[in-house]
Chain A
């Protein structure tokens, strides 16, 4: 076996044989379906048990007419506002809607009284209702009769189709893309951070236990570093694979246990969509049918996603892993490492936050483009963009720069590492690191 191979094997074995590895590998996949299952369970229960809530309507304009539905029961009051308020506060009602006399062109003073802050979902529900009724009123005034008005109303569900260069059409969904983008970029972020830190700890351990001098009398420091980076990566990949398989199996088990039928699923999704607050997902959840979503999920080009994912996953890890190894080699203990890990994790965090702030809302925007091209933020940002569709040349450019990026950091880290691991008790700052990079040994 080659020397790098031996180092990889040791790094791999020493981590995989630990009890904590076994524990984490088994517990995490159990945790996720448990959380998802639990949330689904409560969401379903809540929507089942949700009582119709009473809403008082005090309409001085005489324009509005609300129909009670599953969620809200409307009751008209014909008293003045002060009395209505008293009735409302003494009742168990959810809200009081007050419509003063107003001009249709300038609807002013419409107020919703509530005992506690109404949810975003509720207030937007009422807003939509009121707006559409005012619109109807305006249309009537412009001479459209009741029958015509009724025929104008259509309930549409917008399904989006992606047309590729070859003219192939594919159903797509912003919501599904959003979910994939979220999952992939989050995974890359977590993986790099968790296993990058492990590399650093491993290097510090070797250095502080002084074994490193014996090892480097047998292997080149660069071989040791690369071996460690790859060894830790294999542990991560193994763990990751086990997680995916276990989560998949367990999740299917959970879903089948709840025997979720589409209607339940939809109500559950509706009540859950209130939690993540994105109007986009909400719209998607409400408009599309579960079957459609499932079709879209089945139609995802998995091979493409997974290979792109694997690329950014591994290259992002190599880029940051090398830097973490360099930091580990430069310091004597974990607490000294702090000052150097900050600048490494910063671009990572910027990439992650940027993905949420720019890439997900606007995958083709300018900021999104740059985030997905610069190697330090690309692994996270590009994974999010890929879910929404990326021009081939941008993907190729990003990948090319990524390769240049990780080769660059590995080269630099190697030069710091070979000197750093033999240094004890020296206070290291950025100037020293730069000097090491420039030194020929």
Chain B
């Protein structure tokens, strides 16, 4: 079941195409990484989902229903450009935003109290935003995004502006929210957090979606069938079982070789061959491309390499 389906989405701003026939499916209770270089169209997509702007054509469905104003309360949105009313008190501010999302005053007050307690910030209630540190403001902002318990949480660069401790805190919250059933769309340039947290990813480049799917599967598809071998002693001889792509002295008699396997040869056959050669193996590992590598490879333009999945 998908929480969000986008079909054939198009948006043009004064002859600049922002989205071209974009199709996306975001599975429920997942963390979905929306990747792409600056200006690719991610923010436009997010704004359309938030009903801030309308698509020129195409369709978005939330839980199988066409996107409509009633879905506002279903979505929590943390924009990249953060901001709160500087002169407003934390409590008033959160109450206002919660009520705009459709919560009753009573509910909102309860939720705000609970969330501030979670972040050990109960005494901020009467403080003005401008009197808080930047990190504290970010926490308030995060609370404002999730306090109405939205099914779909859209976070645009959520970790920018957080120190490592608070970033971890937010990360744990995101994972906890997924456990509780929310789906998180995660738009970021930080590949390490994508690597760490995302279940699915989609890559948008130049207003088109060029790749999407399960993260593990994508990484698998981008494998180049290469293995890294660290061994002692002499170099290894050539063989039909592999091509020696690279060789590097690591010092203390250790050598690192990169081996590429031809079609039809398995890693076990490779090991067999190495053992036959009496190579003194220290470690043996398959090379799996990082999301970062895939991102750079695709955005730099050789689309021909995209595996058909």
Contact = CB atoms under 8 A, between A and B. Distances in A.
Bind each other:
yes
Interface of A: 1, 3, 6, 10, 13-14, 205-206, 209-219, 422, 424, 435, 439, 441
A210 B79 contact: yes
B224 interface: no
A332 to B, nearest CB: 12
A435 B15 CA distance: 13
A214 B85 contact: no
Given A6-B100, A216-B52, A441-B53, A211 B72 contact: no
Contacts of A216: 52
Interface in B18-62: 47, 50-54
Given A214-B144, A217-B51, 20 more contacts: A14-B87, A209-B83, A210-B79, A211-B83, A211-B84, A211-B85, A213-B81, A213-B83, A214-B79, A214-B83, A215-B100, A217-B52, A217-B75, A218-B97, A218-B100, A218-B101, A422-B47, A422-B53, A439-B14, A441-B54
A1 B97 contact: no
B97 A210 contact: no
Given A6-B99, A435-B14, A213 B85 contact: no
Main secondary structure on chain A at its contact with chain B?
A: helix
B145 to A, nearest CB: 8
A209 B54 contact: no
Contacts of B84: 209, 211
A14 B88 contact: yes
B118 interface: no
A210 B88 CA distance: 14
A13 B100 CA distance: 16
A217 B148 CA distance: 14
Contact of B100 (A219, A439, A441): A219
A424 B79 CA distance: 14
B190 interface: no
A217 B72 contact: yes
A335 to B, nearest CB: 19
A433 B82 CA distance: 26
B82 A210 contact: yes
A418 to B, nearest CB: 9
A215 B88 CA distance: 14
B162 interface: no
B113 interface: no
Closest 4 CB pairs of A and B: A210-B83, A218-B100, A211-B83, A217-B50
B96 interface: yes
22 contacts: A1-B99, A3-B100, A6-B100, A14-B85, A14-B88, A205-B85, A209-B85, A210-B82, A212-B83, A213-B77, A213-B79, A213-B81, A214-B83, A214-B144, A215-B100, A217-B50, A217-B75, A217-B77, A218-B72, A219-B100, A435-B14, A439-B14
A416 B101 CA distance: 25
Contacts of B52: 213, 216-217, 422
Contacts of B176: none
B180 interface: no
B86 interface: yes
B269 to A, nearest CB: 56
A28 to B, nearest CB: 23
Contacts of A209: 83-86
Contacts of A441: 53-54
Interface in B73-121: 75, 77, 79, 81-88, 92, 96-97, 99-101
Contacts of A214: 77, 79, 83, 97, 144
Nearest to A209: B83
Nearest to B88: A14
B106 to A, nearest CB: 13
A438 B107 CA distance: 41
A376 B75 CA distance: 42
A45 B26 CA distance: 85
Nearest to B154: A217
Contacts of B97: 214-215, 218
Contacts of A10: 96
Contacts of B83: 209-214
B88 to A, nearest CB: 6
Given A210-B82, A214-B83, A6 B72 contact: no
Interface in B254-274: none
Contacts of A213: 52, 77, 79, 81, 83
A215 B101 CA distance: 9
A417 to B, nearest CB: 13
Nearest to B76: A217
A14 B95 CA distance: 14
Nearest to A207: B83
Contacts of B75: 217
B87 to A, nearest CB: 7
Nearest to B77: A217
Contacts of B51: 217
A348 B82 CA distance: 37
Nearest to A422: B52
A433 to B, nearest CB: 14
Nearest to A432: B14
Interface string B284-297: 00000000000000
Contacts of A6: 96, 99-100
A261 to B, nearest CB: 51
Contacts of B54: 441
A217 B100 CA distance: 9
Contacts of A218: 72, 97, 100-101
